[in-house]
A and B are shown apart, each in its own frame.
Chain A
Amino acid sequence: MAGRHIVEAINNALDVEMSRDSRVMILGLDVGKLGGLFRATDGLYEKYGGARVVDTPTAEAGIMGLSLGLALSGLIPVAEIQFPGFIAQAFHQIGPQLGRFRQRSWGRYNCQVTIRVPFGGGLANSEFHCDALEALIAQCPGVKIVMPSNPYDAKGLLLEAIRDPDPVLFCEPARLYRFGRDEVPDGDYTVPFGQCQVVREGGDVTLVAWSAAVEMCGRAADRLADSGISASIVDLRTLVPLDVEGLVKAVAKTGRCIVVYEAPLTAGFGAEVMATIVEEAFYDLRAPIARVAAADVPAMGGALEPWYLPSEDQIVITAKNMLLH
């Protein structure tokens, strides 16, 4: 057991799995000697060598397509896409190729590929470095989407992802990479997919979030508590598969729900969450569901972020207005 922030937890998970299973390899841009731009693969090149930790040519579709082929050959690739905006360049090889290969081959082949990618804004990074594109991939059946929000889950979910026989998009909350250290066991453990977690109990309103937005909800809940409002927080942890039962249970408990996400509001994954709640828990609702998301503008990053990303203030105001109902 050691105090680890998210980058260290991810690094530790990769180390655990590479030492346990010689088929696991890492590929991507600058993942070797540099250890990744966020240092998530730091030290692994030195420990496991250049045949298992490989810097590839600068081509995101290639990293994904090569990973598919590597999986066909019997290896277990963990590929890194350096920044979230570049998922777009890799899109075809992720959704239509990795996501469909099992079905296209009528079950003959599976693609045991994990795609690690930083997720979301909040670091005043430049354009294409701060996107939240989960809804694009959520429209690609065959690919799972994992969204850890804290160090313990980051390690356990990553180990689960690497061992999952199907392709997994593993989105890492970039803003929280070095946010704070939690106790993370040194050894092997997994966190199962499809199980959301109530990370804060409360009776008045349920905040639903994933990735770094969970941390934002925590701050908003602290402020709401100061105002006498008790907020519950549900961390979805995986979007595909989605824990519908756990989500509905948590929302039904308060009858009020705010879905918080970093992607543009319109047609974001939060819309799917809302629709699911309406279908499954309409008669438990005491107020219309609300969304706090990014504005419908491109993620230009930098100094513009505060004017389009969702904020703690918005959550607090939305919750207070909702409680007036």
Chain B
Amino acid sequence: MSELSPKPSARRLVWVTIASFLVAVAVVIGVVLPAEYGLDPLGTGSAFGLLGLSRVQPIAPEETEYKTDVLELELAPTEWVESTYRLVEGASMLFSWEATGAVSFNFHSAPDGAPPGYAESFDAEETDRANGSYIAPFSGIHGWYWENLGSDYVTIRLATAGFYGEAHLARDRVTGVRPLRDARGKLLDQPDE
């Protein structure tokens, strides 16, 4: 094993280690602390504009139209329904649904141009409610499949808000585009009376 030549003196090594430590302390306090933790004891964070880095970006602008929708439907025992929205890649949606009894659900998405029947599943469970936000990983059709596995009728109420296009509904023999509605069931794409 080869080493440094000429060998540095012990004095120099001690000095350089202390200096290295002090530089690191200065960097950690002056740069890392404001950039990562939003604390700025030396004022270097605001001087160099580092403070913003530690904050979560609160606003994500969207370009498509903002929409809301409420869907309420009843499922007979063993009946299923699929409710989806068109979302382009990166578009976001808030959702909340509740059922009067436990149902089996599956949140899935079918990318544009995918072969028929192909879908990516993101969440599947047997429950009576779910809330959350969704950001489309690709452009396509995104939404829920619900199936009533119990022996009683179940009512599901879904409310969404976000930057989606048209809504689709598929259940037993009925399939097609569904108009968006507000919480009272009034059509949203109709002009006000």
Partners in one complex: no
Interface residues of B (CB under 8 A from A): none
